[in-house]
Chain A
Amino acid sequence: MSIESLLIAYGLIAIALFISWHNKLTLEKEVVYGSLRATVQLVIMGFLLEMILTIDNYFYLALILLAMTAIASTISGKRGKKIPHSTGIAFTGILIGSVITFAVMAAAGVIGPEAKYIIPLGGMIIGNSMNVSSLSMNRLIGELGHQRKRIETLLALGANAQQASEWAVRQSVRSALIPVIDTMKVIGLVHLPGVMTGFIIAGGSPLVAVKYQLAIVFMIAGTASLTCMIVTLLAARRCFSSELQLLDTFRPSTA
């Protein structure tokens, strides 16, 4: 693809700008900012990857993945601001979920021992883990507020934090995993996923592409389930005080 082709493709942003201007959506500034930011980020990433993919020291590769986890945790933690120590919870969930998935994928031979496999697939695992972590905390906050009366009834009956939050945790995990499960259901029917599309465009066999894509789908599902469970369970415990009271942030003031 030539630079000219890319510039023409960038012209599609003009359509988005026109729609925003025509419908008075006042999104023009954000569309321009977003598209420029994406361009700058990806160009920088391109140069960085050129360097990173030549690294053959596992310690440095692990440090890069850890830095990615830290960034992902910070972003995810902001989604769960109402939960005390949300960044730490996100970090724990993303790290454990990613490490286990990464280890299984490496042991199965899906992720090769080279930077060109470790960094992109590691990034994919951490990125998905971050999404699920954010969604899990967001859903938990919603469920704790929504089920506040039931939780306090359970506490008043003598339930501990785990027992009182059981239904909220269950519902949060279910909601957070719906996108992953639905994606698995429609994969290949509604959309051809990124890895598969890229592989085919690069001239690979569609059947080999399917093989890789399946491994990626299972990897995402595994990471999502692990991260979701870890984040939700850790977060739910933090939503109760040492005196087994649901924190004030999850209930309106009472008179």
Chain B
Amino acid sequence: MLRVSNLSLTKDKAILRDLSFEVAPGQMLTVLGPSGTGKSSLLRCLNRLDTPDSGEVFLGGTEVKSLDILDVRRRIGMVFQTPALIPDTVQANVGLGPSLRHETVSNSEIGELLIQVGLNLTFMTRQVETLSVGEQQRVAFAQVLANKPDVLLLDEPTSALDPTAALTIENLIKDIHSRLHTATVLVTHDIPQAIRFNTETLVMVDGAVLARGNIQDLVNDTSNATLQKFFTGQGPEQIKKQNNSLSP
């Protein structure tokens, strides 16, 4: 569904270095790496909010540069770290993507989307300023889903939330993915979270791919010293949490 080939991006310094990977239809790929390693920049290049210096991104076999940029952005939906909704009702926000293309979304469709993201219909007419950050993030999910994307990019979607709300959103992501089977790229710096998602994982350090594989295999891979340093370099508490997450 999504193929990235030799992607590089340099601003003041090298941010992405020759990244290549694929996401199959229906697959969820977790991109794990420390803060400042270029994960968000990678998603921005996929959604074309940034233009890479070199490399190619293929969507369903077609290079995205040859596609209409507005269509690429509709097909590659992106949920950001912090929700930035328009100052209007939940209904207006959820229907925003289609309305930008002068398409209308029926109330029943908006209602279905709200239910999909765990909000009930009473939220429809509420102003977004009255919602908690967790609820706003759910609206942001519904907003992106209303565009019916082929690929979903999730840029640390729980990092602005408290632990309880973060877990709820994590479950929401799993639920949405299991129901819609949309190819998804989830970015996180949180190793326990990556372990909880338990998906194919790309470990990124300094803008380059360090390793790729199932997260549990990667955590247990003692042959790769750099990888082990990455997993153990976050302090004993983190390792303890990882072990707890891994235990059945």
Chain A residues near B (Cβ < 8 Å): 147, 149-150, 152-160, 163, 167, 241, 243-245, 248, 253-255
Contact = CB atoms under 8 A, between A and B. Distances in A.
B35 A157 contact: no
A156 B87 contact: no
A253 B71 CA distance: 26
Nearest to A244: B69
Contacts of B229: none
Contact of B87 (A149, A155, A167, A255): A167
13 contacts: A149-B82, A152-B84, A153-B83, A154-B96, A154-B100, A156-B77, A157-B144, A157-B147, A158-B101, A159-B100, A245-B49, A254-B44, A255-B38
Contacts of B36: 255
A241 B37 CA distance: 25
A253 B69 contact: no
Interface in B8-42: 11-12, 15, 35-41
Interface residues of B, number: 38
B48 A255 contact: no
A157 B96 contact: yes
A245 B84 contact: no
B49 A152 contact: yes
Contacts of B85: 150, 153
Nearest to A255: B36
B158 to A, nearest CB: 17
B91 interface: no
Contacts of B80: 149, 152-153, 156
Contacts of B40: 254-255
A23 to B, nearest CB: 42
A157 B100 contact: yes
Contact of A157 (B11, B39, B74, B87): B74
Contacts of A248: 11
A153 B12 CA distance: 24
Interface in B96-110: 96-97, 100-101
A255 B70 contact: no
A244 B144 CA distance: 18
Contact of B97 (A158, A244, A254): A158
Contacts, number: 75
A157 B73 contact: yes
Given A157-B143, A157-B144, A160-B70, A245 B38 contact: no
Most buried by B among A149, A156, A248, A253: A156
Nearest to A248: B11
A114 to B, nearest CB: 51
B97 A157 contact: yes
Interface in B51-80: 51, 69-71, 73-74, 77-78, 80
Nearest to B34: A255
A218 to B, nearest CB: 32
A157 B146 CA distance: 10
Nearest to A147: B84
A245 B48 contact: yes
B144 to A, nearest CB: 7
Contacts of B69: 243-244
Given A153-B80, A158-B97, 13 more contacts: A149-B84, A150-B86, A152-B84, A157-B74, A157-B96, A241-B51, A243-B48, A244-B69, A245-B50, A245-B51, A248-B11, A253-B12, A255-B40
A153 B51 contact: no
B195 interface: no
Nearest to A245: B49
Nearest to A155: B49
A153 B84 contact: yes
